[in-house]
Each structure stands twice: as structure tokens, then as C-alpha cells.
Structure 1
Amino acid sequence: MSFLSHLRAFFGPAAVPEGSDGHGEQLTVAALLALVAQADGRLLRVEEEELRRALRARFGLEESEVERLVARARDGDAAPDPATTLIDRIVQDIPPTERPRLLALAYRIAAVDGNIHEFEDDLIWRTGRLLGLSETELADARRDALGDPEQVRSHG
């Protein structure tokens, strides 16, 4: 899938009935992290493993629960209904104080292969800006996730 397709999928509408169990923090987080992991047009095994590990750790899930959650996120079950976007879902499901931590987690997923692709970096940055985070807050989330930013290269 091209970067443009990822952006369309990220910002465009898809159907999940309001009030269905498709809404919720776990699915919203999984959808964002899966999108970041695939933003460079490929999903490496190390990215997929880190995605699963992050979901297990964040939510205390069993492996079978993680598998179902990732499958739903990938199949579009996590996509928002026509009146909203994933950003709106994050606003709805993730408290403001947790959003920088969510973006730090997204940076860890992006960097797990040793590189942050420009598409991954741009996706996370745009998400943060749409959520109202300042440049400083985004830089702090990136630094919190990566530690020494010199250890992880950004490339295009």
C-alpha cells in the first residue's frame, strides 16, 4: 500500500457502527500502531513483534487477545465511522494526558527496525499536531521513546 493510500485510510471514512465493540482504547491504539508500522510500505517481522509486545504490555492482554486485536485493526474494524476519523477516535478514547505517551509508543514501533522512515515520522508528527500537541511536546515524546536520537536514523 502506498503512503498516499495509508493517509487516505488514516483520514478517510470507513464503517463501524456507532456503539459497537469496535470503539475503545485498545482498538484505537492498535489501529494507530498498525498504521505506523506499515507507513513505510512494509511490515517487518520485528515491527510486528514489537506491535504485539507493546499491546500486551500496555493492556495486559493474552496472546490470543492480541492476535484478535491486531487482526481487527488490520482488517479495518478499527476504522472510524463516516462521521469521524482515527484522530477523532483518539480524542474520544485516549485521555489528553496519555496522548504523548501513545505517540512515544508509536515512535518505538517506527524505530524498532533501527530506522524511522520519513513516512513514519511524518505520520506520527501529523497525528500529534492534529491532536493539539506542540512541537516541544512532540519532540519530548520522540526523545522519551528513542532515548538518544542519534541511535536511530531517520531516512526516506
Structure 2
Amino acid sequence: MLDRVFSVLKDLPGGKPERGGMDDDPRLAVAALMYHVMDADGRRQDSEWESIKHLLAETYGIKGDELKTLIREAVKADQEAIDLYAFTSPIKRHLDAEGRKAFIAMLWDVVYADGVLHEMEDNIIWRVAELIGVDSRDRVEARRKAAASYAVQHPHENKGS
């Protein structure tokens, strides 16, 4: 599944995040939504940060200063945003239906990185999925797969509620 996510998201056009907005670099929208989902429960866990960094680095083949800049600009964009549309619009425009489903799966990976699903995280992914045209069945299936993957990877850890 992650191979599909990486191959689809690698095709997004990119540029220097600090020079343009999300229309110029939709990777910024992807990173901002990852951050937004991570921050939804009010707790920024190291495991979630590492998941975001890993997913962005693997997806876009970036590291070091370029990765730090993308993340810094994504955090700033999220903090300045008044709604999710600024993030979902470029994603919907640049990804096909399969790519949008893969992106939702990626968001679930960020959520489950800390082993806990918070109702706010669930709600945000539901809203993002609706805005980018991913139906409920596909969203729920992606959630199930991410939850099962976490359980397999960390069978002895407490998963919370």
C-alpha cells in the first residue's frame, strides 16, 4: 500500500516550499494536512513526527534542510489556515481517485503512529476524505488496514482507546 502512496504522491509537482503556496507546491498541502491530523488531539507525539518525516522523505525523496523547510512551512500554513479547503483543493486537483485514497491511507498511518485514535483525528480524516472525494467505504477500509498494521508491528504495546 505504501508503495502505491509513494508512487502517486511522487508525481505531484514540486518546487521550493518557501517561495510559493500550495498551488505552486502541493507537497505543502500534503505535509500541512499530515501536521493538522497529528495535532488534532492536542498532543504531538515523537512517533507521529517521525511518521510524518519518514512518509515525506520517502514519498518525495527529500531530506535534510529541504525536508525541514517543507515541514516548517507546512506547520506555518496549518497555523494560518482558516479551513481545510486550502489544503484539500490542490490535493484533489493533482491526484486521481486512487491517489486520493492512498493519501487518506497515509493520514491514517500518521494517526496510528502513536497507537491511539482520538475522535478529533477521526473527524478530520472524515472531513478531508469528503472534501477530496474519497467515499466512506474506502476511508473506513484504509482506517482498518492502518489499525491492523499497527497491531501487527507493535503487538505488545498498549493501544489506548
**What TM-score results when the alignment is normalised by the length of structure 2?**
0.72
Aligned residues: 135
**Equivalent position SS for 2:117:** strand
Q: Which sections of structure 1, spanning at least 5 residues, go unmatched?
A: 1-19
Match of 2:11 in 1: none
Equivalent residues of 1:47, 1:109 under 8 A apart: yes
CA distance in 2, matches of 1:153, 1:72: 31
Q: Which sections of structure 2, spanning at least 5 residues, go unmatched?
A: 1-18
Match of 2:129 in 1: 128
Equivalent residues of 1:25, 1:94 under 8 A apart: no
Match of 1:22 in 2: 21
- The change in CA–CA distance for 1:122 and 1:46 in structure 2 (over 3 A counts) is same
- The change in CA–CA distance for 1:48 and 1:79 in structure 2 (over 3 A counts) is same
Match of 2:100 in 1: 99
State the AA in 2 paired with 1:143: R
CA distance in 1, matches of 2:130, 2:31: 20
Q: Deviations over 1:97-156 (max 9, x none)?
A: 20111111101101111101110011101111222222211122213333368779574x
Give the share of equivalent positions with the same residue, in percent: 27
Match of 2:36 in 1: 35
Match of 2:47 in 1: 46
Greater share of helix: 2
CA distance in 2, matches of 1:145, 1:50: 13
CA distance in 1, matches of 2:160, 2:92: 28
**What TM-score results when the alignment is normalised by the length of structure 1?**
0.74
CA distance in 1, matches of 2:149, 2:75: 31
**Equivalent position SS for 1:48:** helix
Equivalent residues in 2 for 1:4-153, closer than 5 Å: 21-23=20-22, 24-76=25-77, 85-147=86-148
Equivalent residues of 2:53, 2:67 under 8 A apart: yes
Equivalent residues of 1:117, 1:154 under 8 A apart: no
Equivalent residues of 1:40, 1:120 under 8 A apart: yes
